[in-house]
């Protein structure tokens, strides 16, 4: 992932400005480019909060709809990524509060992560079980720690990008990540990440 201060990072931001300006000028189809660009990050944020892939997809879709409807309120189009991330985070927290109020906050039993080719069914089953244990362990972390782990290790964002998304400092991100990794080491068998 390119740092936002790098030329490629600045290009990404000015590209966002271009898309936003085109949308506001009457080209709503330009929004599709923003959806393609930020769908994964939005999904990572939503999953880190709600702990359910299908529910996270719904959260992201709703956040994109809200973003499209209120795009004119975005003061700095270069910050679309961070504004959208906050919309996802806010919506995911609303959904999580609703789930807790209805007593449905547990993680699902099955997760569908990318699977690589394996030489045997037994190896594939072992990998699937390991992924489930890891995701369950991540799901048991406090919300902010879970978000940092997902953004860093599943999405590969930099500390600065995570700090911007979470509206905190790089030091706070590093501290949360250290604490989360320590907690995960306690929960997972020796030899696991």
Domains annotated for the chain, with CATH where assigned, are 7-187 (1.10.1740.10)
Residue 36: pLDDT over 90: yes
Q: Give the DSSP letter of residue 189.
A: P
Q: Give the DSSP letter of residue 113.
A: -
Residue 59: pLDDT over 80: yes
pLDDT at 10: 52
Does the reported pTM lie above 0.85?
no
φ, ψ dihedrals at 177, nearest 5° = -65, -40
How far apart CA 158 and CA 73 sit, in angstroms, is 27
CA 155 to chain centre: 7
pLDDT at 13: 55
How far apart CA 109 and CA 79 sit, in angstroms, is 36
pLDDT per residue as tens digits for the range 103-147? 544 433 333 344 444 457 777 777 777 777 877 788 788 888 888
How far apart CA 177 and CA 20 sit, in angstroms, is 33
Listing DSSP states for 17-36 in one string gives HHHHHHHHTT-GGGHHHHHH
Report the 10 Å Cβ neighbour count for 142.
12
Q: Give the DSSP letter of residue 167.
A: T
């Amino acid at each position: 992932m390119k740092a936002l201060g790098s030329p490629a990072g600045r290009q990404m931001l000015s590209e966002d400005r271009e898309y936003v300006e085109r949308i506001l000028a009457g080209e709503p189809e330009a929004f599709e480019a923003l959806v393609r660009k930020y769908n994964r990050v939005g999904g990572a944020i939503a999953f880190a909060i709600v702990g359910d892939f299908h529910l996270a997809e719904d959260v992201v879709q709703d956040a994109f709809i809200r973003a499209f409807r209120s795009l004119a309120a975005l003061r700095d189009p270069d910050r679309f990524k961070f504004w959208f991330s906050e919309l996802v985070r806010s919506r995911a927290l609303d959904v999580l509060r609703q789930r807790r109020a209805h007593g449905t906050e547990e993680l699902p039993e099955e997760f569908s992560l990318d699977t690589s080719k394996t030489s045997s069914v037994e190896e594939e089953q072992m990998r699937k079980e390991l992924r489930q244990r890891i995701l369950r362990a991540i799901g048991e972390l406090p919300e902010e720690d879970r978000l940092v782990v997902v953004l860093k290790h599943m999405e590969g964002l930099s500390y600065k990008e995570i700090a911007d998304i979470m509206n905190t400092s790089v030091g706070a991100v590093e501290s949360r990540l250290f604490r989360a990794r320590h907690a995960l080491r306690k929960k997972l068998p020796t030899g696991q990440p």
